[in-house]
A and B are shown apart, each in its own frame.
Chain A
Amino acid sequence: MEEILSFDKISKSFPGVRALDDVSFGLMRGEVHAIVGENGAGKSTLMKILSGAYTADTGRMIFEGREIVNNSPKLSRDLGIQMIYQELNLVPELSIASNIFLGQELKQGLFVNKGEQVKRCREALQELGLNISPNTLVKNLSIGAQQLVEIGKALSVNAKILVFDEPTSSLTDSEIQELFRIIRMLKARGVGMFYISHRLDELFEIGDRVTVLRDGKHIMTDRIENVTINGIIEAIAGRKIENLYPRNRGEVGAPMLEINHLSGEAFQDVSLVVREGEIVGMAGLIGAGRSEVAKAAFGIDKYKAGEVKIGGKTVSRHNPQKTKKAGMSLIPENRKLEGLALSLSIRENTVIANLQALNPTSMINRKREEDTVKEYVDKLNIATSSIEKRTMFLSGGTQQKVVLAKWLLGKSQVFIFDEPTRGIDVGAKNSIYELMDELANRGAAILMISSELPEILGMSDRIYVMSGGQVVGEFNASDTTQHQILELAFSNA
């Protein structure tokens, strides 16, 4: 088989993160090439470079023997490189035919040649083995059928490379089989395909080769016959756990946070408990429902059934004001959106959750406020020239520390940390771990949501694993492995 595309030493950095580091591998004609890795391993960044949405800092892409220079979304499309995204790009109110020719309408003089479009579309649908009328409105199709229309759209422009990003995440089993049938057909036609998926079992059914990325680095590429599912899991996770995780905790006490049979939009029947002085990890893939459980427990989102107890007392008619008063803090996943008002200063952000406690008369005591903020800036080693600095000018790690300071300021005894170290360098990570350890040592109950397994294993006393909106397992951190957790995390995805 002949190589249609190769990545040659591709590197790409974002502020504070090396997203891709010297990545090289290739794609054959008529090959299904699976790309796997943890969230943030660099898969999407690489595909965005391929589609022209991002530009690589260094490295080349060779397509059909020629280097792609000055790549752009338009150029890559013209070359025949098409993306099939998880979120579909179809217009629900238009017919299949109109969607397929959207932006590339067949014209007769000034007017769209609808008759020709419908005819060509019918041929394309028949080629895909789909028995639907081209005039059907897209909104009347199932998600699976919509995905196939999206593929039809890609084929109508004679695609040579297709990229599937989590194509099966919202499909039923029979729809998946239908998709695989079409993928096999495309293979026979010589279309090269990248296939990104968290469902490792699928790779063995449809993949020819598999590439593993980790922390932006190319770990391995091999033929699917030569690898095992365990081998892939090890390659995905395989980080040595360094002595990064402090443990000075004492005895575990009474239950502080109890979630009983909680059900909401994205999770069902979730029960868990976190005790005094304990750090409990919550592992799983993105989309497993972990953050949703945290938000519901904190009172941000509504839930349908179940109850949440803080310090042994049931919280009724939940909202963040109440849970805050009951002694709970949520350090949210998305610090820029949920954690900080970026146009305001460190001072204003740090005290915002404890304004009333700091100023019981409702009149702001500026001196006390400044002293308190300075104390926490020192304590957390927040690198800044002034407490008046607007948080938009801080690095990711420093921003995260400001969010932490905001919640440490209060009298909370229950903490939920949602991805506390995402996008943060190792030094800052370690100081955040030390803080968590100290909190637990003083009797706080901590629930830590993390997609980084080493962090989960390193910091937790106990671990829950969520998959597909349910708690699928519970372990003592001392007698489990990354492998065991990953396997469970993928089990219900």
Chain B
Amino acid sequence: MDKKNLLTKRVKSTVYGLSSVVIMLIVFAIFAVLNMFQGISFLSPSNLSTILNQASFLVIVGIAQAIVILMGGINLSIGSVMALTTVMWGDMLLKTSEVNPLIPAAMVILTAAAIGYISGLLITKLRITPYIATFAVMYACRGLAWVYLRNRVIYGVNQAFRDLLVGRLFRVAGFNVTMPMLIALIALLAFFLILRGTTLGRKWYFTGANPTAARFSGINTDRMINIAYTVSSALAGFAGLMYMARLNSTEPGLAGDTHFEAITVSLIGGFAMAGGYGNIWGVAGGAIVVYTIQSGMNMLRLPGELQALINGVLIIFAVYLNQTLSKKKMELDNDLSDARMAQRQHSMLKEGASR
């Protein structure tokens, strides 16, 4: 293999690995041009900071979905867990409440975690497939939220609590840096560390890639799955708090489509439905793409039905692209590694000859 060929392969491999970033740039370009015709400045700092701020919410639910997709599963109950848990403890988070908001906030996350653990048990003990198990939990939670709150809306959230979750930090050159951005960044870093730097993350990847081999390696695969669903659901609870802070209210219908948004984010972010493959930073790219398209279409005042159609097409396109690219990337990396080996041997031979 000559040097030029090698370089092409290296560049290709890098680009393929960043497919969600590439998709993101394409989407940005399309909307920048489209909006330009309408006389709207899509790439203005303030618009970009709005996009990043809103995308940060999707990062949290995206991570919640990505870690179960990594295990070869899926979590359809994310949105309804957000609704149920915030509805259950929401009254204590209002301005009118005397309780320290951190207590109900902790309860929201714990309740959500418990629901996730139940989903895990349905999957590991009762051997119900993840799709059906979380589908059932989704309906149960949504129903419970309606039964609990009836037609009331919980409104008027404690301001200090809102500032903590969705407040603005500072402003640079027209770009607002916000708490959600900071939270999303911390969450991405934390899960990057967990997935790449701990034995738990390694076992998650392995279990996702081949559950049978994982069992034969003495990994308690049931426990890994239970933990993944518990963490996924706890993150959903946390996202519920963020949504509640943003909307200054909550109600049983909160986050109706969030589980699907979360799936789109993970898939565009490069996670494979088959499990065992994906990079957590892809979730950030996926979240920005999904939100950009939503807001871009809103700015163009496209009707909702058309938006739904475009979203559907986009998922197919993104998933197909990612599948193809990730496979190509694996092959390229393999060629590159072999080529490096050959080069090393070659230079060793040359050294030997020159001596």
Q: Shortest distance in angstroms between B188's beta carbon and chain A's nearest beta carbon?
A: 19
Residue pair A337, B212 in contact (C-beta under 8 Å): yes
Question: Which chain B residues border A247 with CB–CB below 8 Å?
Answer: none
Is B217 close to A, CB under 8 A?
Answer: yes
Complex-state Cα separation, A319 to B217, whole angstroms: 11
Complex-state Cα separation, A364 to B210, whole angstroms: 21
Is B171 close to A, CB under 8 A?
Answer: no
Closest to B344 in A: A385
Q: Shortest distance in angstroms between A402's beta carbon and chain B's nearest beta carbon?
A: 11
Q: Can you list, as one digit per residue, whether each of A371-392 has a CB less than 8 Å from chain B (1) or not (0)?
A: 0000000000000011011101
Question: Which chain B residues border A341 with CB–CB below 8 Å?
Answer: 205-206, 209-210, 213-214, 276
Residue pair A390, B276 in contact (C-beta under 8 Å): no
Question: Which chain A residues border B212 with CB–CB below 8 Å?
Answer: 337-338
Residue pair B213, A339 in contact (C-beta under 8 Å): yes
Is B341 close to A, CB under 8 A?
Answer: yes
Q: Can you list, as one digit per residue, whether each of B199-233 has a CB less than 8 Å from chain A (1) or not (0)?
A: 11011011001101111111110000000000000
Residue pair A348, B213 in contact (C-beta under 8 Å): no
Residue pair A344, B216 in contact (C-beta under 8 Å): no
Q: Can you list, as one digit per residue, whether each of B47-86 has a CB less than 8 Å from chain A (1) or not (0)?
A: 0000000000000000000000000000000000000000
Complex-state Cα separation, A388 to B205, whole angstroms: 15
Number of A interface residues at 8 Å Cβ cutoff, please give it.
34
Closest to A328 in B: B218
Is B338 close to A, CB under 8 A?
Answer: yes
Q: Shortest distance in angstroms between B96's beta carbon and chain A's nearest beta carbon?
A: 44
Number of B interface residues at 8 Å Cβ cutoff, please give it.
30
Residue pair B334, A321 in contact (C-beta under 8 Å): no
Closest to B203 in A: A355
Chain A, 330-358, CB within 8 A of any chain B CB? 330, 332, 337-344, 348, 352-353, 355-356
Complex-state Cα separation, A330 to B216, whole angstroms: 8
Residue pair B216, A300 in contact (C-beta under 8 Å): yes
Question: Which chain B residues border A359 with CB–CB below 8 Å?
Answer: 199
The SS class assigned to the B binding surface is: helix
Complex-state Cα separation, A97 to B212, whole angstroms: 40
Residue pair B337, A352 in contact (C-beta under 8 Å): no
Residue pair A352, B338 in contact (C-beta under 8 Å): no
Q: Shortest distance in angstroms between A368's beta carbon and chain B's nearest beta carbon?
A: 13
Closest to B211 in A: A341
Which among A339, A344, A385 is the interface contact of B209 at CB below 8 angstroms? A344
Residue pair B199, A353 in contact (C-beta under 8 Å): no
Is B277 close to A, CB under 8 A?
Answer: yes
Knowing that A338-B216, A364-B199 touch, tell me 10 more A-B residue pairs with CB under 8 angstroms.
A320-B217, A320-B219, A321-B219, A323-B218, A340-B210, A352-B217, A359-B199, A385-B340, A386-B337, A392-B330
A-B contact pairs, 29 of them (CB 8 A): A320-B218, A321-B219, A337-B210, A337-B212, A338-B212, A340-B213, A341-B210, A341-B213, A341-B276, A342-B210, A343-B209, A343-B276, A343-B277, A344-B209, A344-B276, A352-B219, A356-B199, A359-B199, A362-B198, A362-B199, A362-B200, A363-B198, A385-B337, A385-B338, A386-B341, A388-B333, A389-B337, A390-B334, A406-B217
Give the A-binding residues of B (Cβ under 8 A): 196-200, 202-203, 205-206, 209-210, 212-220, 276-277, 330, 333-334, 337-338, 340-342
Closest 7 CB pairs of A and B: A385-B341, A341-B209, A324-B218, A341-B210, A386-B337, A320-B218, A353-B217
